[in-house]
Amino acid sequence: MARKTVLVCDSCGKEVDESRGATLRITYADARRGAKQADLCDDCAGKMPGQPAARRGRRPKSAAAAA
């Protein structure tokens, strides 16, 4: 018997399609409080506040030559 994992948005309750969701992780500055994590659909993830984070590592050669 096969099992299927169904991902549900924690904000609106809709089922999230495969590879169409996001995970929001909140870590507190006070380490004793731990962390919280929420699974979100694309619509709810787009409504969340915050700034896009810069990607780590070197830029690819083609982008580095152009800049």
- Residue 64, pLDDT score: 56
- Residue 66, pLDDT score: 60
- Residue 63, pLDDT score: 59
User: pLDDT grade, residue 67 (50/70/90)?
Assistant: low
- Residue 60, pLDDT score: 76
**CA pair distance 45, 42, nearest whole angstrom:** 5
Tens-digit pLDDT profile for residues 27-60: 999 888 999 999 999 999 989 888 888 888 887 7
Whole-structure pTM value? 0.64
Tokens 């609106």 belong to residue: 12
**CA pair distance 6, 59, nearest whole angstrom:** 36
**CA pair distance 63, 67, nearest whole angstrom:** 6
